[in-house]
Structure 1
């Protein structure tokens, strides 16, 4: 069964993320987790009083050492999602262990596209997914510099300062405004007004510097792909890239002057959008289609469920690297290769059963 989010009049806080300071030792780790839990709980209660629901609470570390990550396995609790940050100390075996144990592991690629590095990433992804496909949902490859910071997981790493990050779930609210006869820009405007109200509540309650990723992201029936259809642009049709650009421009204009962080663009994670999943069931969608969309949206190659094939995934990753260089914007990739053929369904736990798509 997939996790269902009730559609409310207000946008949902998709991610309420506590970015930690530097962690020097185990005592730091333990006290920081205690502090994070306390802050997140207080802020969640305040948001609830204002009518905002919190979908997930998260903690993002600034690249932990191997020993601290091992200790973290014993300390982390199921109600908090935890990212270890960009760590250079862990090897392939540990990446498998940590992701399958529930931790989020972002890998960082800096520099020119490289088929050899792409193969290395493909091999790691295959190892993790072979151990447990759900573990692969907690592993990402980021193509950007180390200063990048977002409340979205897995590609999340604290810059080493205590801050809060917020991301929202709001496609249905925009669709509802469109159905009332508003133009696209006017449909977004009142929704963003509510987003800013939520941010003010977070800042006034926590008294912490609060950063916001205003990306338009889906969760199952709260679908971004539906917004394309309602606006007359098929996501896979000839106007799909244009409409993506248009959405990104609106997001950028409405979030000017706010403490933005992260991607702030359209997100199209395949396995997290029920309409995209439906396209997969109908055989209408390929991984390369989502790769093409990544030229105008940040996470076009995200949560794809594909057949096991190290060479094919290597080439897909190398192509994503190339788009990141040309686009000069942050891109992140997440793939779940499984021993199945296109059209088969893979069980991804809370994401539900997701159809495998071809490369």
Structure 2
């Protein structure tokens, strides 16, 4: 088990505060922590602070969170300054789908990995970037985990318990309110969530996969409830294609198509995440519209992170490698 993200949520922004939090995070040396993060509040970025943010390669920032009607070009401008910067767009009005689609269509693949569309009523407080923002009243802290191996081995309860106690101690040391854990079961490469699904219900995509995902979600919530852990953010099964070796393999061989992935996202989150799609404006637009329809039915936060490809049928991404374009049929 790893703490995927130890995240500080800064309820308001000033240079000294961010520098102080960056220094405090840098001073925590523990192999248990996979990444350290600072989340900014929605729609509050003072562009003058951009050049004053500490350039610490160990810390990543969800720095800009705009709504659908804002000047979206700011996201591209700001994220181009530093590869540790992430951002998101809140989309909940169909009349803005065209503008958001055009923005995504124009993104270079590597930059697209650091931008997500959140389909929901409001901005979301979660350690998962890019959508995680500090939509909080006071400065706070929360964590997320990498624990597919523990879940597969029947040790998820122990992993969550250890992580919760550890995070509480860190929050006390940093004098921050502890919000809890986004208990989402999320993958990283060989620690595959898709493998867990396939062991229970067959190869992706097969009938039975959806009920299996629903069962896994139920198990996650039951463990959190038993341990009295506060689940925040998404707190469901996650299937980010580029981050799961088995998902990459299924997309590459064509057994998991965009339609199959959509069906799975009806019972899990974060939605259509880290998916390489054909660089086609109309396709991107339809994906967003269908995602909005799914979110209305689910009544849960739904994230979309698309990576427009070239004519080659795949893209090469730093830290991810060669990721195939998902087939639509």
1:118–1:147 CA distance, 2 compared to 1 (3 A): closer
TM-score between the two structures when normalised by the length of structure 1? 0.83
CA RMSD of aligned residues (A): 2.0
For 2:5, the equivalent position in structure 1 comes to 15
**Is 1:106 aligned with 2:88?**
yes
Q: Whole-Å Cα distance in 2 between the matches of residues 93 and 118 of structure 1? A: 15
Question: Alpha-carbon deviation of 1:152?
Answer: 0.3
**1:285-335 CA distances to partner (integer Å, 9 max, x unpaired)?**
222221211110011300000110000111111000011011111111100
Q: How does 1:244-283 map to 2 (within 5 A)?
A: 244-256=213-225, 257-283=228-254
Contact 1:100–1:128 (Cα < 8 Å) also in 2: no
Extract unaligned runs of 5+ from structure 1.
1-10, 178-186
Q: Whole-Å Cα distance in 2 between the matches of residues 248 and 334 of structure 1? A: 21
**Is 1:209 aligned with 2:180?**
no
Q: Whole-Å Cα distance in 1 between the matches of residues 162 and 244 of structure 2? A: 23
Range moving further from structure 2, 326-335 or 277-286: 277-286
For 1:37, the equivalent position in structure 2 comes to 22
Q: Which has the higher contact order (CA 8 A, sep 6+)?
A: 1
For 1:54, the equivalent position in structure 2 comes to 33
Question: Alpha-carbon deviation of 1:74?
Answer: 4.8
For 1:180, the equivalent position in structure 2 comes to none
Q: How does 1:1-359 map to 2 (within 5 A)?
A: 11-23=1-13, 28=14, 30-42=15-27, 44-45=28-29, 48=30, 53-65=32-44, 68-69=46-47, 71-77=49-55, 78-88=57-67, 91-101=71-81, 102=83, 103-111=85-93, 114=94, 116-129=95-108, 133-146=109-122, 148-160=124-136, 161-177=138-154, 187-211=155-179, 212-256=181-225, 257-341=228-312, 344-359=313-328
1:14–1:354 CA distance, 2 compared to 1 (3 A): same
Contact 1:76–1:82 (Cα < 8 Å) also in 2: no
**1:175-228 CA distances to partner (integer Å, 9 max, x unpaired)?**
233xxxxxxxxx432332233233333334333222210100011111111111
Extract unaligned runs of 5+ from structure 2.
none
Question: Alpha-carbon deviation of 1:258?
Answer: 2.2
**1:226-262 CA distances to partner (integer Å, 9 max, x unpaired)?**
1112334433111111011011111111112323210
Q: Whole-Å Cα distance in 1 between the matches of residues 54 and 18 of structure 2? A: 8
More strand by share: 2
Q: Whole-Å Cα distance in 2 between the matches of residues 358 and 32 of structure 1? A: 46
Question: Alpha-carbon deviation of 1:90?
Answer: 5.5
Contact 2:147–2:156 (Cα < 8 Å) also in 1: no
TM-score between the two structures when normalised by the length of structure 2? 0.90
